[in-house]
Amino acid sequence: MAEHQTVITALSAVLPDLAPADITSKLEAPKDAKLGDVAFPTFTLAKVLKKAPQMIAAELVENIDQSAFEKVVATGPYINFFLDKKEVTAQTLKTVLAAGLDYGQNDDGKGANIALDMSSPNIAKPMSMGHLRSTVIGNALANLSAKNGYNPVKINHLGDWGTQFGKLIYAYKTWGSEEEVKADPIATLLKYYVEFHDKAKENPELDDEGRAWFKKLEDGDPEAHKLWAWFREESLKEFTEIYDRLGITFDSYNGEAFYNDKMDRVVKALEDKDLLEESQGAQIVDLSKVNENLTPAMIKRTDGATLYMTRDLAAAMYRKDEYNFAKSLYVVGGEQREHFQQLKAVLSLLDLPWADDVEHIPFGLITFNGKKMSTRKGDVVLLKDVLDDAHELALKQIEEKNPTLANKDQVAEEVGAGAVVFHDLMNDRTNNFDFKIEEVVRFEGDTGPYVQYTNARAQSILRKAGVEVDTSNISLDDAATWDTITTLNEFPKTVRRAFLNREPSIVAKFALHLARTFNKYYANSKILADDENKNGRLALVAAVSDTLSASLQILGVSAPKEM
Ligand code: ARG
């Protein structure tokens, strides 16, 4: 209840022994709005004051300075405050309009770094819906970090190393062609990879060929390295097209290969603490003393090759050195839960004081029209196609609603991509959900376009008004705006809660709620009528637009002014 500073001030004056934070935590919303806007229960004071709660409430009301309220009354054991709605309204609108898009910004993080491991697709494969989730959730968490006063560092931990590149090099050299790869890089590389697996079913010796080429790659063979670098570069080009369409950038593209020469320190640290054990020729760390359910972490394979885990250990240490993070978040699907439990367990066995700052942020699975996707079988839904379809659907609706709009194609892109991103973020992070494009790209219902459309509608009212809002003199006496005002007031607290829970859906749900509340008001009132409340109403419209835009900004969804 961020708006209740007046209540806290009034209660503090009559209860000097109670800290304001204690008062705040006791405040409730009355069961019935007719009873008031804020209630303060006196039960817990009864013991200290050795009086009946009813009596305490009655006595306190006598002494409370009522001037800042419509009224304050004792109802049984409760003190019920009726806020001076006009005053709260004016204060709220002033606060929002003074901050503009910075509304909700706080300084909790004091500039500390937050490392975010996000997106992290595997090269030579199309980016999956899972990687899309990691990308957009990671981006929203980065924006939320910034809004809470931290400095986010967005890291794309590309899957650019592993035995599959040996297979790919073999396939390319044996039946591939440069022109074919150049024409359509990821699709072609994926085709070679799928073909390799098909052929290896009949010819298991192909696997040995693949392994041999990966060994060459690890040993720095120039031909192998050149092909790998080329596959990586072509893949990145395609990934970047998608990131550009989503408006997402990264601070680092250090992927798995980057850690090839940084793993000795991991092995050395484990040896120093006597944590490495041999098991069937491989080097492992027993984690049962941390958690009896955890299987051992594999550090080196039988052939001496290092692993995903070893690279992640090296990456964790590197990031601590490089960024001195306050938190290191890994936005990776729930299916890797055990991997991150193991990672944290090893870091804690190494007695690294920051092991607790490492957090896995899991998320649920997206199915596509009810189907799961599998890269190995080659039946993938390409993100590019999803974004193209969303664009087309958005354009169709714009053609219907606003055929004379100037830059339709640009807006359709913002609405289409925004719809896909918003839908992803609106669901609780760990929920699984199904993706049906027709439900996602709609201007009505719980969708991104609905929020965007509400904002555009607010902007259109402000244009029609033809006058600037006078922010120095805001006064609005209109009971119908109260729901919108209290919702606007919730935003700063929402921004905090969303960050602390690592849950962008809290912001998405807030935006939907604000849009709905405002539309209800809009449908029932004449905003542009020329009366003494006109400037106040326009201030409200501008504040709603600022707050919707700030919410969409956190989610990484654009807020077109017309659509
Ligand atoms: N490339 C991995 C995958 O697609 C995800 C990497 C996640 N990040 C990490 N540091 N392990 O499954």
In three-state secondary structure terms, 24 is helix
> What is the residue with the minimal CA distance to atom 5 of ligand 1?
120
Residue 161 corresponds to which tokens in the numbers above? 């190393």
Contact 101, 143 (CB under 8 A): no
258 lines ligand 1 (CB under 6 A): no
Residue 103 corresponds to which tokens in the numbers above? 């509304």
> How far is the centre of ligand 1, averaged over its atoms, from the C-alpha of 118 (Å)?
8
> How far is the centre of ligand 1, averaged over its atoms, from the C-alpha of 296 (Å)?
19
332 lines ligand 1 (CB under 6 A): yes
Name every residue whose Cβ is closer than 8 Å to that of residue 362 and which is 6 or more positions away in sequence: 332, 333, 334, 336, 337, 429, 430
> How far is the centre of ligand 1, averaged over its atoms, from the C-alpha of 136 (Å)?
15
> What is the residue with the minimal CA distance to atom 1 of ligand 1?
159
159 lines ligand 1 (CB under 6 A): yes
Q: Return the pLDDT at 5.
A: 82
Find the length of the chain: 563
Topology (CATH) of 395-555: Isoleucyl-tRNA Synthetase; Domain 1 (1.10.730)
First to last CA, the chain: 34
Residue ranges of domains in the chain:
2-83, 113-366, 395-555
Q: Running along the chain, 563 residues long, what does each successive block of 10 average in pLDDT?
A: 77 93 91 92 92 95 93 96 94 96 98 98 89 96 98 97 93 96 93 94 94 93 97 95 96 96 95 95 94 94 79 98 98 96 98 97 88 60 89 97 95 98 96 92 97 98 95 93 96 97 98 98 95 97 98 98 96
List % helix, strand, coil for the chain (3-state, nearest 5). 55, 10, 30
> What is the residue with the minimal CA distance to atom 11 of ligand 1?
312
> How far is the centre of ligand 1, averaged over its atoms, from the C-alpha of 249 (Å)?
18
120 lines ligand 1 (CB under 6 A): yes
User: DSSP state, 356?
Assistant: G
312 lines ligand 1 (CB under 6 A): yes
Segments of 196-339 assigned E as strands: 276-279, 282-285, 297-300, 327-331
Contact 276, 299 (CB under 8 A): yes
Q: Of ligand 1's atoms, which has the minimum distance to the CA of residue 336?
A: 12
> How far is the centre of ligand 1, averaged over its atoms, from the C-alpha of 121 (Å)?
7
Q: Of ligand 1's atoms, which has the minimum distance to the CA of residue 131?
A: 4
330 lines ligand 1 (CB under 6 A): yes
Q: Of ligand 1's atoms, which has the minimum distance to the CA of residue 158?
A: 1
- Give which of 333, 319, 430 is closest to 134, Cα–Cα: 333
CATH for 113-366, among 3.30.450.40, 3.40.50.300, 3.40.50.1220, 3.40.50.620?
Answer: 3.40.50.620
122 lines ligand 1 (CB under 6 A): yes
Contact 140, 502 (CB under 8 A): no
> How far is the centre of ligand 1, averaged over its atoms, from the C-alpha of 225 (Å)?
22
Q: Of ligand 1's atoms, which has the minimum distance to the CA of residue 122?
A: 1
Segments of 321-432 assigned E as strands: 327-331, 358-361, 366-368
Q: Return the pLDDT at 374.
A: 57
> What is the residue with the minimal CA distance to atom 6 of ligand 1?
120
157 lines ligand 1 (CB under 6 A): yes
- What is the enclosing helix (H) or strand (E) of 433? strand 433-435
Best mutation site among 332, 337, 374 for ligand 1, i.e. most ligand atoms within 8 A of its Cβ?
A: 332
> How far is the centre of ligand 1, averaged over its atoms, from the C-alpha of 439 (Å)?
30
DSSP 471-482: TTS-----GGGH
> How far is the centre of ligand 1, averaged over its atoms, from the C-alpha of 452 (Å)?
32
> How far is the centre of ligand 1, averaged over its atoms, from the C-alpha of 134 (Å)?
10
Q: What is the chain's Cα-based Rg?
A: 29
256 lines ligand 1 (CB under 6 A): no
Topology (CATH) of 2-83: Gyrase A; domain 2 (3.30.1360)
> How far is the centre of ligand 1, averaged over its atoms, from the C-alpha of 157 (Å)?
7
> How far is the centre of ligand 1, averaged over its atoms, from the C-alpha of 430 (Å)?
17
> How far is the centre of ligand 1, averaged over its atoms, from the C-alpha of 373 (Å)?
17
Best mutation site among 336, 338, 380 for ligand 1, i.e. most ligand atoms within 8 A of its Cβ?
A: 336
Residue 538 corresponds to which tokens in the numbers above? 């326009």
> How far is the centre of ligand 1, averaged over its atoms, from the C-alpha of 561 (Å)?
37
